[in-house]
């Protein structure tokens, strides 16, 4: 068998290892005959669920790490470097330049204006330089291409491609699995269930959902929260309508979150943070792609990148609580039609397998240059 090339892929946090875009990148490497080493803070040095050709290693994104590890012969043996936003991009840029290797970057977080993060200007400048020096860049939605070009000051010659926040191979979906999932939540009578997955806060529609639950006695909800405090979880459990809610206390894997989403009847995709990135979400939103892939109509915040939801009649855009309440009733009244439209939208608009094939082709081309 042909000897595998080696690639180094740098992640910001270990939990991103099995996210949809990183799954696509790692599998695209593997299908192009690469062995892949994954670097992230806190990772154990061991094999992964991707198989024997993908191994994890620890790294620290700091000037001290650069000084101690930059001049190491091991970096010479990699054929390609890649990384995600934002801290890893500095390392990718420096090592690929120093060892004269190809690189590409997944800019899934564009930390501009009010969402700039807390890293120093010097480090951020290095990350932006890493973006510019890469052979191609990946964003998760077409609406983010111009935002990235402006943020990183990319020239017109830069190749920016898209891979959405979606798995290209979906979990199994059928009525038997859906019924089993709903029974595990304690819902057995055909209740109308609203799902909130991921960040659960005042910019993701948490207040609108809870207020609607309080004012509508025949609605049910499942909350799979990330990034919330123990106090917030406790207070959720003390709500007067907790008997109509299921709160997922442990963090689900990416695949399990997608699998269980088919148990919802409606999904929340609210992004009211005014920062540029959150106003150009589109199919960069993992929860949006997840809901539509699993046949769940959505309520989304009003922005141009979500116009396709109303074009395909699989979701409704809102900008206030009153509009949110009306949208819940509208989707409930037209649920089966909108549910069917989700599959059409996923097939004809999101098209993750098409994006995956293009990503694989770009990586293949790098290996030939």
Q: Answer yes or no: do 155 and 181 share one domain.
A: no
For residues 317 and 205, membership in a common domain is answered with yes
Q: Dump strand ranges (E) for 75-207.
A: 80-84, 102-106, 136-139, 160-162, 192-199
In a domain, 365, yes or no: no
Percent of the chain with pLDDT over 90: 92
Judgement on whether residues 67 and 19 belong to the same structural domain of the protein? yes
Structural domain contains residue 363: no
pLDDT digits 0-9 by tens, 294-327: 999 999 999 999 999 999 999 999 999 999 999 9
Considering the domain boundaries, does residue 362 fall inside one?
no
User: Which tens digits make up the pLDDT trace of 183-197?
Assistant: 999 998 889 999 999
Answer yes or no: is pLDDT of 131 > 90: yes
Q: How do 47-48 and 51-58 pair as beta strands?
A: antiparallel
Question: Using 50, 70 and 90 to split pLDDT, how confident is the model at 157?
Answer: confident
Q: Does residue 146 sit in helix, strand or coil?
A: helix
Task: Give the SS3 label for residue 102.
Answer: strand
Q: Who has greater pLDDT, 190 or 330? A: 330
Prior bond to 86 cis, omega within 30? yes
Q: Closest by alpha carbon to 335, among 344, 327, 323?
A: 327
Residue ranges making up the domain that contains 239: 175-350
Residue 250 and residue 338 in one domain: yes
| Same domain, residue pair 142 and 33 | yes
Pairing of strands 192-199, 315-318: unpaired
Tell me which of 130, 163, 196 is where a domain ends: 163
Q: What is the pTM of this model?
A: 0.95
Give the chain's end-to-end CA distance (angstroms, integer): 22
Q: In angstroms, what CA-CA distances link 161 with 93, 145, 362? A: 18, 8, 9
Average pLDDT value for residue range 13-39: 96
101 & 185 share domain: no
Residue 95 falls within a domain, yes or no? Answer: yes
In the beta sheet, which residues pair with residue 219? 192
- Same domain, residue pair 345 and 202: yes
Q: What is the pLDDT of residue 368?
A: 75
Asked whether residue 179 is assigned to any structural domain, the reply reads: yes
Cβ(99)–Cβ(75) below 8 Å: yes
- CA 199 remoteness from chain centre: 12
Q: Are residues 245 and 273 in the same domain?
A: yes
Q: Which residues are CB-neighbours of 168 under 8 A, at least 6 positions away?
A: 20, 24, 352, 353, 355, 356
At 294 the pLDDT is 98
My answer on whether 219 and 74 are in the same domain is: no
Q: 219 and 341 share a domain?
A: yes
Residue 33 in domain: yes
Residues 6+ away with beta carbon under 8 Å from 88: 10, 11, 12, 39, 61
Specify if 236 maps to a domain: yes
Q: How confident is the model at residue 91 (pLDDT cuts 50, 70, 90)?
A: very high
Number of other residues whose CB lies within 10 A of the CB of residue 62? 14
Domain end among 104, 133, 163? 163
Query: Which conformational region is residue 244 in: left (phi greater than 0), alpha (psi within -120 to 50 degrees), or beta?
Result: alpha
Residue 46 has pLDDT above 80, yes or no: no
Please determine, for residue 44, whether its predicted confidence score (pLDDT) is greater than 80.
no
The SS3 assignment for 111 reads coil
Mean pLDDT of the 238-256 span: 94
Lowest mean pLDDT among 40-44, 63-67, 125-129, 134-138: 40-44
Q: Which of 136, 163, 190 delimits the end of a domain? A: 163
- The pLDDT, as a whole number, for residue 314 is 98
Q: How far apart are CA 363 and CA 369, in angstroms?
A: 10
Residue 156 confidence class, pLDDT cut points 50, 70, 90: confident
- Together in a domain, 181 and 263: yes
What's the pLDDT score for residue 279?
Answer: 97
Dihedral class, residue 284 (left if φ above 0, else alpha if ψ from -120 to 50, else beta)? alpha
The answer to whether position 356 is within a domain reads: no
Percentage of residues in the chain having pLDDT higher than 70: 99
- Both 323 and 197 in a single domain? yes
Mean per-residue pLDDT over the chain, rounded? 95
- Read off the CATH number of the domain in which 202 is found: 3.40.50.2000
What is the maximum span of the chain, computed from C-alpha positions, in angstroms?
65
Structurally, how many domains does the chain consist of?
Answer: 2
pLDDT at 369 over 90: no
């Amino acid at each position: 068998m042909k000897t595998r090339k080696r690639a180094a892929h740098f992640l910001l946090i270990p939990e991103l290892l099995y996210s949809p875009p990183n799954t696509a990148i790692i599998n695209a490497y593997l299908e192009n005959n690469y062995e892949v080493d994954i670097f992230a803070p806190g990772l154990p040095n061991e094999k992964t669920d991707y198989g024997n050709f993908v191994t994890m290693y620890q790294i620290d994104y700091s000037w001290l790490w650069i000084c101690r590890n930059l001049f190491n012969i091991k970096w010479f043996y990699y054929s390609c470097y890649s990384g995600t936003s934002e801290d890893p991009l500095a390392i990718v840029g420096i090592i690929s330049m120093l060892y004269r290797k190809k690189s590409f970057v997944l800019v899934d977080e564009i930390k501009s204006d009010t969402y700039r993060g807390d890293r120093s200007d010097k480090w951020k400048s290095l990350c932006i330089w890493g973006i510019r020096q890469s052979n191609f860049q990946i964003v998760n939605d077409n609406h983010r291409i111009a935002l990235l070009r402006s943020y990183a000051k990319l020239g017109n010659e830069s190749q920016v491609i898209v891979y959405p926040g979606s798995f290209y191979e979906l979990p199994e979906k059928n009525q038997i699995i859906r019924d089993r999932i709903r029974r595990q939540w304690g819902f057995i009578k055909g209740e109308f269930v609203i799902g909130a997955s991921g960040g659960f806060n005042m910019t993701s529609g948490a207040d609108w959902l809870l207020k609607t639950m309080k004012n509508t006695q025949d609605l049910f909800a499942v909350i799979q929260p990330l990034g919330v405090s123990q106090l917030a979880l406790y207070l959720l459990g003390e709500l007067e309508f907790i008997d109509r809610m299921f709160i997922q206390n442990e963090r689900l894997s990416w695949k399990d979150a997608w699998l269980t989403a088919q148990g919802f009847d409606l999904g929340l995709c609210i992004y009211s943070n005014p920062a540029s990135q959150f106003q150009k979400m589109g199919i960069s939103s993992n929860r949006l792609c997840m809901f539509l892939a699993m046949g769940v109509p959505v309520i989304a915040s009003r922005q141009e990148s979500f116009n396709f939801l109303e074009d395909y009649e699989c979701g409704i855009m809102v900008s206030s609580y009153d509009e949110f309440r009306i949208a819940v009733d509208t989707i409930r009244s037209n649920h089966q039609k909108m549910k069917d439209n989700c599959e059409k939208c996923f097939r004809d608009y999101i098209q993750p397998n098409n994006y995956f094939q293009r990503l694989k082709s770009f990586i293949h081309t790098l290996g030939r240059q």
